Structure 1
Amino acid sequence: MTALPPITVSTLDRDRLYALLEKHRGDEEVVDHLYDELDRARYLAPDAMPDTVVRLNSRARFLHEDSGKTHELVLCLPTEVGAGEDRLSILSPVGAALLGLGVGDTIEWPSKGKTLHLTLIAVAPA
């Protein structure tokens, strides 16, 4: 696995995610990796976040390099997944991998004995 790209997370998202992870009893692999991501993140106030960085409730267009497909989804909390078919839970492997990435970043993310290869193409408000 290559070095992980730097990530930037808002302090608001950080607080919401730590509260979520303390209560979550699902896919422990994703939870553990998300804790690791939060540990290595650079934090900024919500109003200082660049528009080119994925955060909760932003629309991310990304290339799933393993399948060659491009997807455009809104990163959200698990309780918000039912709000539309274009929603992606932060507790999914792809959702956790995208958090904090900037446009142009590529990440290799471990998931169930495989490695996902994702490249962020664009970010927009949801």
Structure 2
Amino acid sequence: MPAKIHGERMLTELDHVRLAKLIDGKSLPELEDLLDTTDVVRSCDVAPDVITMYSQFSIVDAHSGQRQELTLCYPRDAAPAAGFVSVLSPVGTGLIGLRAGATAKWQMPGGDEGGARVAEILFQPEAHGDYTT
């Protein structure tokens, strides 16, 4: 997928540091690109309509129009059937840092393109004063 330009996505400093540690010598080009091209802000300055780690949000599938509620998490907490999507999955990497109303696109493992519109942020840790989760 093409790189996102600055201003389209936002990461907190803490999320940026933790995501960089996930790379740890692995080849994760999508995540590396994200970390290199995304605006980074202090946790207390992130807008409340941005998907950060452990945010709960709803998306609308670009193809089917189906609405789904998800929580963005680290790989150890992933449980896709329960709506916990790893930030290292194509969907997770495609969604982190986007604002409500934005459209994400990602490449599925089989080569198909997926996409969804971020319909609503249901919960964002930073918006509730949690700057360390």
Find out whether 1:32 has 2:34 as its counterpart: no
Please show how residues 83-98 of structure 1 align to structure 2 within 5 Å.
Answer: 85-98=82-95
- How far residue 66 of structure 1 moved from its aligned partner, in angstroms, is 2.2
Q: Which runs of 4+ in 1 moved over 3 A?
A: 1-5
Quote the sequence identity (%).
Answer: 28
Quick check: 2:4–2:37 contact (8 Å CA) kept in 1? no
Query: What one-letter code is carried by the residue in structure 2 that aligns with 1:16?
Result: R
Query: What one-letter code is carried by the residue in structure 1 that aligns with 2:18?
Result: R
2:14 corresponding residue in structure 1 = 12
TM-score by length of 1: 0.83
SS in 2 for 1:108: strand
How many positions carry a matched residue from both structures? 120
Residues in 2 aligned to 1:73 and 1:92: alpha-carbon distance in whole angstroms: 13
2:121 corresponding residue in structure 1 = 123
Structure 1: runs of 5 or more not aligned: none
1:107 corresponding residue in structure 2 = 104
- How far residue 38 of structure 1 moved from its aligned partner, in angstroms, is 1.4
- How far residue 23 of structure 1 moved from its aligned partner, in angstroms, is 5.7
Residues in 1 aligned to 2:12 and 2:38: alpha-carbon distance in whole angstroms: 9
Residues in 2 aligned to 1:23 and 1:124: alpha-carbon distance in whole angstroms: 34
SS in 1 for 2:53: coil
Query: What one-letter code is carried by the residue in structure 1 that aligns with 2:50?
Result: V
SS in 2 for 1:91: coil
SS in 2 for 1:122: strand
**1:56-98 CA distance string (max 9 Å, x none):** 010021112123211111100011125x822111111111100
Query: What one-letter code is carried by the residue in structure 2 that aligns with 1:75?
Result: L
Residues in 1 aligned to 2:4 and 2:42: alpha-carbon distance in whole angstroms: 23
Deviates more, 1:46-55 or 1:59-68: 59-68
Tell me which protein shows more strand as a share of its residues.
Answer: 1
